[in-house]
Every structure is written in C-alpha cells, then in structure tokens.
Amino acid sequence: MSILRLEKRRNYDEIAEFGDIGTPGSCRESIKLLVPVNSSKCSEAAPKRCAMNFFHKILFPVDLSHASPKIAPYVSEVARKFEAEIHLLFVVRVFEHFTSLHLPDATIKNIEDEVARRGEEKLQEFMEAFFESDPCKVKVVFGDPAEEIFKYVELEGIDLIIIGSHGKKGIEQVLFGSVANRVVKKSAVPVLTVNPHGRPVG
C-alpha cells in the first residue's frame, strides 16, 4: 500500500525545473537526472511520478450509448496534444444480482457472453470510427463499471480518465451519471468529465 501511495504522489516543482515538458521522451530523460537529487525519498517511484504529471495513457470508459460519440472528439484532441495512448474500456455489467430470480446459471452466462461478444464488436467499430489515426487499445471486462475502471487504471498505469458526465440512465440531460459520479469521487488520477449535451466541440 505504501509503495502504491508513493507512486501516486505528484511533484510538480521538481519537474518544472527542467523546463521542457514537451514530449514523453524528454520527460523521462529529465527524471533520470532527478533521481539522485531526490534519493532520500522514494527514488524508485520517481519515473512513475513524473509520468503521472503528464498524460501518457488516457482511459476513456465507454458505455456505447449515444453519448460516447460526442465525447470522443475531446478524447482524441487531448490525446493528440499530449501524444498519449487511448484506452477504450467497455464494462459488461454482471448479472449476479439476479440470482434471486433462480435463473439457471447457464442462461446468465449466455447473456453475459453474448453482451461481451457484441460489446467487443461494437467497441472495435467505435474505435475505427473515431480513433482510427490514434494509438488506441480496446478492452472488454466484466463487473461493476466504477470498480473495473479503477482496476484498469491501476493495472495499466492510466494517468487521465475522460468520462461522459451523463450516461444512459434516467433523465439523462439533467442528472450526473452514477458511474461518473463514483469515478470522480474515488479516482486516484485526474478525471475530466465532459458533458455530452454541452457545447459542440470545435
């Protein structure tokens, strides 16, 4: 836990000293210089810390609703500016909570598999439509959206999440998405919430 915490810590002042923060490459080089200076404190965490200051890996969790395409231009723009890699994540909600209905296991599994299969197809289409020229990875996972987003962030070393503030559910133009809400509240990395019903991009 403590190592994790150190990795997550950001330190701007030190990086500012090195002036050029332009490319990921130059940033990594400057950190090599930093390590000896900073050896008293968590030197092994330093490269990670630097990486956390600038956005190298951007996670864009998509629900494949009509809101997702509206947020895509923002993601693409930010990614290009920071020369970052885009990760698209689609979370298949699991149907565990339907167990009280005594559905046979096989049925639930079938539905989940079907959703995952279709999700994967859709996600691929989505990527081709919006991020064709960007470095981009796609992933479909099972579980609770917010939890899976955090797991993915941890696993892949994501340093920025861009998420639609209003998703599928409810009176969507008015209420903040429940997933976005939870992500913003608990995330260890910065979260950019974009209102899909806001001003058009461009």
Partner 1 sequence: MKLHKLLVPVDFSKCSRAAFNYSKLIAKKFSANIYLLHVVDKRHVEKIAEVNGESEDELSKKLSLQAKQNLERFLANNGSEGLIVEKIITVGIPFHAIALKAQALGTDMIVMGGHGRVGNGQIDKIFFGSAAERVVRLLPCPVLCVPQEDVDTEIGEKEKL
Per the CB < 8 A criterion, the answer to whether 60 and 88 are in contact is yes
The distance of closest approach from Cβ of residue 12 to partner 1 in the complex, given in angstroms and rounded to an integer, is 4
Nearer to partner 1, 42 or 111 (CB): 42
CB of residue 26 to partner 1, shortest distance in Å: 14
Polymer length of the chain: 202
Identify which of residues 81 and 102 has a Cβ nearer to partner 1 in the complex: 81
Residues 6+ positions from 188 with CB-CB distance below 8 Å: 8, 150, 153
We find the least distance from the C-beta atom of residue 22 to partner 1, in angstroms, to be 9
**Angle CA 196–145–80, to nearest 5:** 50
* Residue whose structure tokens are 């609703």: 65
Closest CA to 44 of 68, 78, 16, 9: 9
How many CB atoms sit inside 10 A of residue 185's CB? 9
Query: What 8-state DSSP symbol labels residue 93?
Result: P
By the criterion CB under 8 A, which residues form the site for partner 1?
Answer: 5, 8-10, 12, 16, 21, 53-54, 73-74, 77-78, 81-82, 165-166, 174-176, 181, 184-195, 197-199, 201-202
Shortest gap between Cβ of 5 and partner 1 (angstroms)? 5
Measured from the CB atom, is 47 or 73 closer to partner 1?
73
For the bound state, the minimum distance from the C-beta of residue 73 to partner 1, rounded and expressed in Å, comes to 7
Cβ proximity to partner 1, 92 vs 146, nearer residue: 146
Closest CA to 65 of 164, 161, 136: 164
Closer of 13 and 132 to partner 1 (Cβ): 13
